[in-house]
Amino acid sequence: MTIQEPGWELYRSFLAVMREGSLSAAARLLGMTQPSLGRHIRELEDTLGVSLFARSPQGVSPTDLAHALLPHAQAMASASAALRRAATTRDDAIAGVVRIAASEVVGVEVLPPMLAAFRERHPGVVMELSLSNQAENLLRRDADIAIRMGRPTQDALVARQVGRIALGMYAHRRYVKAHGRPGTMAELAGHALIGFDRETAYIRSLRPAGVPYAREHFALRTDNDLAALAALRAGYGIAICQCGIGDRDPSLLRLFADSFELHMDTWVAMHEDLRRNALMRALYDHLATLLMDYANGASPPGKRTLRAPAKR
């Protein structure tokens, strides 16, 4: 008996519905008509012999089985994307497509000038930048190269520690002018602090001892690091920020520079199979070198450390 194997296009439609939450939105995402996408879903269900979505006048709702199949479909999507990238990249040429994973703040504030400098030298490179505070799975090839705040643990990865990025406490000059500058750590309790909403194990490992810096102390809580950085720059309150970012902004003042500093171990990693690829190896070495400079206090290429304006 021949078992029919569902085609990738059916799983792609399934993933789109799971991501977008409706047939119409998924069809728009894929550039399909809604009836065509609906046929894909029914064909996938018929082939697998299961029901993936409950239908109602309000739309479709994923079944428990659909949620169970989701990570496997995501792995297929990652493999398909990796295959396309590999097809565009010759082992001996610094050209093609490369996918880089990084945290939100590093991807927005630190990497762009580094990537721009690389592409100036290698215009045949196309970069995909995946930003998330969740670690991408390099073994599954969700990304080719990743910047990680912590030592990678998988054996099949090539990883290089590029340094320890310093974190300090900062406030906007406008905030300090309006509310004063805290003279001691204890005085922070009387200020508007910007911090996390949900405490993760990583946050607990970084949380400073002896400092009133817990969820109940925060005047703004967010798990989006870019939102916290934007609030700091808007003068909302006091926040912990990468020193490489805070020190180059003349509107920000570093507080307790002599007594408060945290550090994030920073690594560049890629799958060991990519070492023979000229593009991956060149970009890996490029990022490792410039991130090491950044961790040691140098400004990224194209970024000039600005001086604070003179007081009048």
Q: What is the pLDDT of residues 165-195, one digit of tens each?
A: 999 999 999 999 999 999 999 999 999 999 9
Tally the domains of the chain: 3
**Domain identity same for 157 and 288:** yes
**Domain identity same for 254 and 170:** yes
**Domain identity same for 279 and 155:** yes
Does residue 204 sit within a domain?
yes
d(CA 156, CA 139): 7
Cα-Cα end-to-end distance for the chain: 86
**Domain identity same for 168 and 123:** no
**Domain identity same for 58 and 133:** no
Does residue 312 sit within a domain?
no
**Domain identity same for 48 and 194:** no
Prediction pTM value: 0.68
Mean pLDDT for each 10-residue chunk of the chain (312 residues)? 68 86 86 87 87 82 87 75 62 81 94 96 92 67 84 78 94 97 92 92 78 89 95 97 95 95 92 84 94 82 41 32
Does residue 305 sit within a domain?
no
Q: Give the angle subtended at the CA of 7 by the CAs of 4 and 12, to the nearest 5°.
A: 140
CA distances from 153 to 135, 157, 199, 267 (A): 11, 8, 22, 11
CA distances from 210 to 16, 57, 262 (A): 47, 56, 13
**Domain identity same for 157 and 271:** yes
**Domain identity same for 112 and 138:** yes
Which run of H or of E encompasses 56? strand 53-56
* pLDDT confidence of residue 311: 34
Q: What is the CATH number of the domain that holds 93?
A: 3.40.190.10
Strands 96-102 and 145-148, bridge-based pairing: parallel
- Residue 31: which domain range? 8-80
**Domain identity same for 59 and 195:** no
* pLDDT confidence of residue 4: 65
**Domain identity same for 93 and 240:** no
* pLDDT confidence of residue 86: 62
Does residue 308 sit within a domain?
no
**Domain identity same for 237 and 284:** no
Does residue 303 sit within a domain?
no
Does residue 49 sit within a domain?
yes
Q: What is the CATH number of the domain that holds 35?
A: 1.10.10.10
**Which residue in this structure is represented by tokens 């003349």?**
250
* pLDDT confidence of residue 177: 97
**Domain identity same for 67 and 120:** no
